Amino acid sequence: MHELSLAMEVIDLAQREAGKHGVSSVQEIQIEVGNLCGVEADGFQSALELLVRDSILKNAIIRLIRTPGRGKCLACDVEFEMLHRLDVCPECRCFPSEISGGEEFRVLSLIV
């Protein structure tokens, strides 16, 4: 379950950034999790909530922003939302030739 190690990395990042700015607590953290990034968002959130208890994020509001996957079919030029990497074009049933969104996994902001 790599969600646990990712949660630990997010906490480490928050602690490093807070240390750089001389603050001792974080009020809010926003994390973007794309549908196609390979991270199980609910598992990641559960791991993060478990691990923050003894960290700089213990009183922080944790906001997960889930980004839908986006694909573009080069066969018929249709852009469409993807829930899974193997979703096909709703118009011509071809696999998308280009994935244009949903692969993100990043900390968007820390509010101290």
Helix, coil or strand: residue 47:
helix
Instruction: Identify the pLDDT of residue 48.
Output: 94
Q: Residue 53 phi/psi, 5° resolution?
A: -55, -35
Can you read off the two tokens belonging to residue 90?
Answer: 């709703």
Q: What is the mean pLDDT of residues 64-91?
A: 91
pLDDT band at 83 (very low <50, low <70, confident <90, very high): confident
The residue whose two tokens read 């939302």 is 81
Instruction: Identify the pLDDT of residue 96.
Output: 72
Q: What is the mean pLDDT of residues 50-72?
A: 93
Instruction: Identify the pLDDT of residue 1.
Output: 55
Per-residue pLDDT at 64 exceeds 90: yes
Structural domain spans, the chain:
2-111
pLDDT band at 84 (very low <50, low <70, confident <90, very high): confident
Can you read off the two tokens belonging to residue 110?
Answer: 């820390």
> Between the CA atoms of 40, 43, 48 and 49, what dihedral angle is there, to the nearest 10 degrees?
140
**Which pTM value belongs to this model?**
0.85
User: What is the dotted CATH code of the domain comprising 2-111?
Assistant: 3.30.2320.80
Cβ neighbours, 10 Å, residue 107 = 14
